[in-house]
Each structure stands twice: as structure tokens, then as C-alpha cells.
Amino acid sequence: MKALVYEGPRTVSVHDMKAPEGQGVRLRLRYCGVCGTDIGIYSGSHPRAQAPLVLGHEFIGEVIEDAAGFTAGQRVTAFPLLSCGSCHPCRTGSPHVCASLRLLGIDQDGGMAEEMIVQPELLVPVPDHVSDQLAALIEPVAVCLRVADRAGVTMGDTCVVTGAGPIGLITALMLRHAGAGRILVSDIAPGRLKLARDLGFETVNVSSESLADAVASATGGDGADVLVECSGAAPVALEMTRLVRTGGTLCLASLYKAPVPVPLLDMSFKELRLIGSRVYTREEFRRAVDLVARLEEPLLRLVTQVVPLSGAGDVFDLVTDPTSDAVKVLVDCQA
């Protein structure tokens, strides 16, 4: 079978490999999304991923042969979190933030392949009315649903989303679904900002406009009720406390791999809430399966490119090209 294999920093290639063996449910993969985590692995900055590794944890596949209560031809996705079951978070009902959390496609081979074997307890059936490409978005939708839940958005809130990549745009969709009124999305990429506008959001190009001025104008000088940080850019962390009102909420969706300056005096003087968010619970993953069908039209607009697995060796050149308008890229695992 073919698989996209991480071989070391900035090196991936399509390998012809022996089909996987072992206990579990054998899947024929259909699509797998390229995630920001995959980019981190490709760059060599991920602290756990070790080469050689088959990438990918946002996938949809079909069961090849009856096994463990699943039937041949049944479409499934996977809840890709691997928790230890014994640490404090696992013992107290939060296994999604397990002290030694591992993931498919990071700590063991993932779904950018023609086939894989997945343990049955991780598999989640995909309803017939959810298309294959839409099903490949269930995992990132679960990530952003968790963000919206953590941010505690209430009806009519004015929100700011910094970063118009896939997570930023899906987060904006989740905030709107949760009842947010006015949503401003910032970025520096014109193509991504255009897509945000097409999805009905106000946009700010921070390479030529002041986000602080835009937020002040939108809120009569008060500041946003909620800001969700999805850019991972240090200058945003330095500015974000200025952008929310007194008593407002900052939610970190991006994962900073190194310390960055944050004006902590604002946290105290404005009595702000700073909330972290990491992956999702099983219940949020289940809700994401339902949500993708309800938000099918805007979600599928985020899929800007589909590349065949056979030609996926260059996929990271596409997704890391600053001149590219790529947003969500899927790998067609059978092409």
C-alpha cells in the first residue's frame, strides 16, 4: 500500500509499504486532512513525533471486513486520542488532557495511507448523509467546538478571532453557531480574509490595518466580549489583552511552543479570564459528527485543495507557501 511518511525534518515522501497487520479493524482510507500539527511534525518542531511516521489524524475510511461489531463497507472516522487511563486527569473524568496524551498520526502511524488498522473503541460511525470530504472535517470541528465551549460565548457577544487558517475559520463558525453576534477575523493573507468575508465575517488585514482600532470601532471603545487566539503569533499575544473589554475572555486555541510576552497587568486591572483549550472530549467529538451536517455548506468552502496520495510528497510545499491561498487541504487516499 501507499502512505505519506515523515522521514525527518522537512522530509516526507510517498512510500510503498506492506499492508498493516495486527489486531483491530482494518480500514480503507478515503480522505485525510492536513493539520497544523502535521506541519509542525514536518518542520521538525513537534516534541514527540519520531520518524519514520505515517502522518494524519483527520481521516474518513471504510471497514474492509467485518470485525468487532463493524461491518464491511461501513464508513467510520476515529477519535484519535490515546489516554493512559491512570493519571489524575484520566481518573477524574478528563482523559482528553491525559498527562501522557498520545494521538494517532503523531505517536503512532496515522491515516495518510491507503489502509490502516484502528482499535474498535476509537472508531465512530459516519452517518450516510455526511459526505466523505465533510467527514474528514469532523476532527477539526471537534477542536473548534471545544474552543467555543471553553470560551463561554453567550448570545449576541462580539468576538474576535485572530488567525484565518482552518482552525480560525472553523472557530468563527462555531462561535456564530453558539450565538455570537458580531465576529471580526484578522489575518495577513488576502485569500484567507476573502474567504472569511465570503463566510459572512468582518475582516481586518493586520498587515495594513490596526486590529485595536477595528475592535474599538465595532464596540464603541469597550472591547470585544471574547477573543480567540488562533494565529500562534507572538505579536498577537502581546496585543490581545488590549482588545477585550473589562471582564472579557481570552481563549487560546493556538499552541505556543515557546514562552511569549503577555501584559499580565491588564489581566489583573481588567479582571480578564484567560482560558486554554486542547483537543476535545468524546462528547464534543460526537456533537461534531452532528454539526458537520448542519454546517455543510460553509465547512466545505474551507476545502480549497484536494491532492492525490500518490502526489502528496509536495503537499507541505503547498500548505506552507506564504503566497498560497490554501486553507484546508485534503489528501485523497485512494488516488
Strand 2-8: give its sheet, edge to edge.
Answer: 11-16, 2-8, 53-54
Q: Exposure of 97 by Cβ count < 10 A (0-12 exposed, 13-18 middle, 19+ buried)? A: middle
Please check the confidence at residue 226 and state whether its pLDDT lies above 90. Answer: yes
pLDDT the model gives residue 256: 92
Q: Is the CB of residue 105 less than 8 Å from the CB of residue 111? A: yes
Task: Compute the half-sphere exposure of residue 196: CA atoms within 13 Å on the CB side of its CA.
Answer: 29
Q: Exposure of 299 by Cβ count < 10 A (0-12 exposed, 13-18 middle, 19+ buried)? A: buried
pLDDT the model gives residue 230: 98
pLDDT the model gives residue 278: 96
Helix H or strand E segment including 225: strand 224-229
pLDDT the model gives residue 53: 97
Cα→Cα distances 307→5, 219, 303, 304, 318, Å = 15, 42, 11, 10, 10
pLDDT (average), residues 176-203: 97
pLDDT (average), residues 162-190: 97
Strands 273-276 and 2-8: unpaired
Strands 244-252 and 273-276: parallel
pLDDT the model gives residue 200: 97
Q: Report the percentage of the chain scoring pLDDT > 70.
A: 100
pLDDT the model gives residue 177: 97
The cell for 282 is 468524546
Q: Please give the model's pTM, rounded to 2 decimal places.
A: 0.96
Q: What is the pLDDT of residues 145-164, one digit of tens each?
A: 999 999 999 999 999 999 99
Give just the sign of the alpha carbon dihedral 153, 282, 32, 66: negative
Please check the confidence at residue 269 and state whether its pLDDT lies above 90. Answer: yes
> What pLDDT band is residue 299 in, cutting at 50, 70 and 90?
very high
pLDDT the model gives residue 323: 84
pLDDT the model gives residue 324: 85
CA angle 323–312–15, rounded 5-degree value: 150
pLDDT (average), residues 304-320: 95
Interhelix angle 282-294/166-177, rounded to 10 degrees, is 80
Q: What is the pLDDT of residues 76-101, one digit of tens each?
A: 999 999 999 999 999 999 999 999 99
pLDDT the model gives residue 322: 83
Please check the confidence at residue 325 and state whether its pLDDT lies above 90. Answer: no
Please check the confidence at residue 38 and state whether its pLDDT lies above 90. Answer: yes
- Mean pLDDT of the chain, nearest integer: 97
pLDDT the model gives residue 50: 96
Cα–Cα distance, 229 to 249 (Å, whole number): 11
Q: Please, which residues have CB within 8 angstroms of residue 51's CB and are 6 or more apart in sequence?
A: 5, 6, 7, 8, 11
Q: Please, which residues have CB within 8 angstroms of residue 136's CB and are 6 or more apart in sequence?
A: 30, 31, 32, 33, 58, 59, 60, 77, 330
pLDDT (average), residues 126-145: 98
Phi and psi based region of residue 24 (left: phi greater than 0; alpha: psi -120 to 50; beta: remaining):
left
